[in-house]
Structure 1
Amino acid sequence: METDPLITEPKRARERFEATHAEIRARIVLLDYRPGTKLSEALLAEEFAMSRTPMRRVLARLEDEGLLSSKHGVGTFVTNVEPEELGQVYRLRKELVLLQTSLDVVPPTPALVAQMQEIVARAKTLRITPCARDFSLLDQEMFLLLLDLTRNEPLRIMSKRLYFRTTRIWLQQVAGSETALLEEIDVFAREAAEILNALEIGDLDAVGHIRRGHISLSFARMSAERGSDPPANGYIR
């Protein structure tokens, strides 16, 4: 049976849009595009081999997610996160992680537990060969994996937006210090191991409270630091 091109073409366009959005978002989160970087719609459209109209839509979505800011007549820039905003986001994220394991829940599958086991193993390996970029990718992987414990789409969308809005902050703090990076890897490894233990016995309530506790402790360390930036030794994810 032949596939109707009128159906496949929009699907391909959506997939291309999503892939482009994910790639540019990753560049922002991993600090390939640092805060204040000016992005060129024309150059990005050329790089991704798409017209400027869909690229404009990609950038508009990233702006809606708080990762970009457009100034009329000036350009589009990667945003930074103000301390007050960061505090508000983390207070909200602290509550959302409980909903992710109590609202429209999906019981952990053997495949999900196996992926979590791999994350724990990779965290231990990362302790031997620390790399801030690899750590950031591993943290993102765990976040997205645990988000599969809920099928509530509005909750998933909001959680993703808040996570990617602020996950750059800790990377900026630890990227230049191996000591700080190792400390953060240790904290992550402990959290991942605790979550794995809870998943293996199917205790989703414990998973939510473990994650909430780690966010709360991170925010407490951040609040104790009276300055414009979070503390270098605070695990702000």
Structure 2
Amino acid sequence: MDADNPTLSGDAKERFEQLSDCLLRRICLLDYPPGTRLSEADLAAEFGTSRTPIRRALARLEDAGLLQSQHGVGTLVTDVSLTEMARTYELRCELAGLVGRLSPVTITTAHQKQITEFSQRAAALLASPDARRFAALNMDFFIFGTELTENQALRDMSLRLYYHTARIWLQSIPQLDLARETAIFSGEITQIGEAIAASDPLAAAMIRQAHISLCVVRLKKFAQG
């Protein structure tokens, strides 16, 4: 679902998932920066739905640590410190390696097609770096990576940790070299694409793990000024 142009469709369950995904992407892409107050009434009007699914979606995001309800204030987007983010990245690094070991999927032509699409998006970013498009591609590519395991618990934990810190990385981009980060990310996609072409999900996971580890190093340097 397009976070910029939300249109709910399908049955009640499908519309709820679309709604939750849209709000999630808006938080991760900083459309709703930390501290933003989300109004059930305003969201219900925007999405053309009742407040009940809005309330359920906000509760899901609060459970994920992305929102916080404060009495007398409302529902606010949470923040994450650089120190907390670095620690979370360290855990994400360990989980990334497990994706290739615990119930890895069989690589199909659909996976290879997705890699081709990611590579095309990365090439467009290299030609014209953009922080928001970088973050959107990073999110979509990470989700793709979690789908290389059939272990649902591992998927869920990996995604929860990713969503908790993704927006802080986007906040840091203005202080980083976006063109360089884009080139590094494009290289990662290329390397993982080669592993996918070889039908080797373990190699893909190891490459992902190595890049997350290097990302932690860069973030720590950024935090230290």
TM-score, reference length from structure 1? 0.85
Q: Distance in 1 between matches of 2:138 and 2:179?
A: 14
Match of 2:130 in 1: 131
Q: Residue deviations 1:176-209, cap 9 Å, x none?
A: 46x7211111010111111111111122222111
Q: Distance in 1 between matches of 2:40 and 2:119?
A: 39
The 5 Å alignment of 1:216-235 reads 216-227=213-224
- For 2:67, the aligned partner's letter is L
Could you say what secondary structure the match of 2:11 adopts?
helix
Could you say what secondary structure the match of 2:75 adopts?
strand
1:208 equivalent among 197, 202, 205 = 205
The 5 Å alignment of 1:1-237 reads 12-174=11-173, 176=174, 180-227=177-224
Q: Residue deviations 1:125-161, cap 9 Å, x none?
A: 2111222222112112211122221111111111111
Change (3 A) 1:106 1:125: same
Name the % identity.
46
TM-aligned CA deviation for residue 226 of structure 1: 4.6
Q: Distance in 2 between matches of 1:47 and 1:22?
A: 15
Could you say what secondary structure the match of 2:49 adopts?
coil
TM-aligned CA deviation for residue 12 of structure 1: 1.6
Q: Distance in 2 between matches of 1:192 and 1:15?
A: 30
Contact 2:99 2:202 in 1 (8 A): no
Bigger relative CO (Cα 8 Å, ≥ 6 apart): 2
After the TM superposition, which parts of structure 1 deviate over 6 Å for at least 4 consecutive aligned residues?
none
Could you say what secondary structure the match of 1:77 adopts?
strand
Q: Distance in 2 between matches of 1:42 and 1:24?
A: 14
Q: Residue deviations 1:56-75, cap 9 Å, x none?
A: 11101001111111111211
Contact 2:99 2:149 in 1 (8 A): yes
Q: Residue deviations 1:38-59, cap 9 Å, x none?
A: 1111111222222222211110
Q: Distance in 1 between matches of 2:222 and 2:139?
A: 25
Larger Rg: 1
Q: Distance in 2 between matches of 1:148 and 1:40?
A: 33
Q: Distance in 2 between matches of 1:85 and 1:170?
A: 12
Give the unaligned 5+ runs of structure 2. Answer: 1-9
Could you say what secondary structure the match of 1:81 adopts?
coil
RMSD: 1.7
Q: Distance in 2 between matches of 1:218 and 1:169?
A: 13
